[in-house]
Structure 1
């Protein structure tokens, strides 16, 4: 399934940045794989940081994803501790924004990484490794962004039920579900300006630790308001939906980045189907008014509503 609106408001092909976390190999070996697939020279930019500047897409970064590893001067004791912790600390590849029409090259990279021993979330019980998609927005207006946020908030329980994340990641706080108060508010407000959406989001959910982190978009729109609400957080303002839910399953049969992008496309399809979105909002309100219901009950209701509106959910099967 392709993304329903493949071009942005300027008419350019939308792009997606990808962040991959994995174990089983060093950051230098991973950087060599990036250069092997995309070209460019590997440059050491820190004790555990490598950069690869590619002619076609720009700069990739590969690093050991630990705050300790990002220090400029590491003691021998710190280096020893990092080496001993490599089964738990992931190597991370941060890819630049790549046009959605060229994403197959990232799956080629995953194949190269797996061939060199890279392991995703399924490689061990404590390897809670994820993959983040930074999906470029279609446009930066409330009418562009509100339906996407509403759609994901209303079907999130269904997404988590039909495509559950690894238990090692569920135990971590980084991809917690949206609070019910936010879903309640979004269900009741089908149309919001970006000013109003920013205020609503920061009132109900001033946190980065969500499956869909909206703060990069909101910070791009009104950085002062976001910083005032979350002064301790480092938030990179950019026009992207920061979708953090997918596991990184490098090496597992049938898993691809393209497949995860197809799942995101289902969310955008729901967002673009007004009758389905209205039905979900009404259904959620009724679900909340029935005091004996629980969140798994709502996931079943979502499936029924999506089927009733002929939403193709095959990417999740």
Structure 2
């Protein structure tokens, strides 16, 4: 079996997972990974002016790249903490990005050493998974798991923190046998679908709330077809804006505190049944939940069953 540095194994896994572009700023603790990137020359690296900018660039790339995942890279300490804003933006909007940070050698962690920040703990609230890889041989598995989690269920960002000596560690790894893990995508049961449709058809003033999940699933045409078949008006959320054309007869306007229309709010208040598709019931959309919920029944269709 081939022997290589763990940093090279990480690059090979990213290649297998379809990564072609990365954004970042080199620095001492992440330079082994950059050396592997330069050696392979398979992933285009775009130098950012600032690591926070790199995280936003990765998010924008994911939004625009039709299924690909943006990658942002930075060194230890402030690079990771600077990327927290980008990670928060990504998880709030269900955007998968891979954030890779360098870290001080394992022996210097948790001792207030230079730039030895516990980024694993800091980033947990704004990622689907955050991990400091503590053994070189675990690097390929960590990257495989990261891509699996980013693509499964509700998409979102992952942070992998790589201590310097972990990147430099020699491991045995056969990239020719590597395969991405199957993506987990929950689906409603037929009974759930039939019950929701029965409730919708039994209501006198039904309404569809269309969220950003429809855009993530490239299902806007299906939404319009469903609305036209049922004759139910559609209210998009801010993240779902564009799922139905603004000039479509069933476009009922937007609802909320800031990005709303008077006729959208009026349509919502007149409804008796609301079918939420791929949306979050965020407070900028709902306003007062007492007013928003009063007198109507809700069914929520979401890719994340725990939401």
Give TM-score, length-normalised by structure 1. 0.23
Could you say which structure has the larger radius of gyration? 2
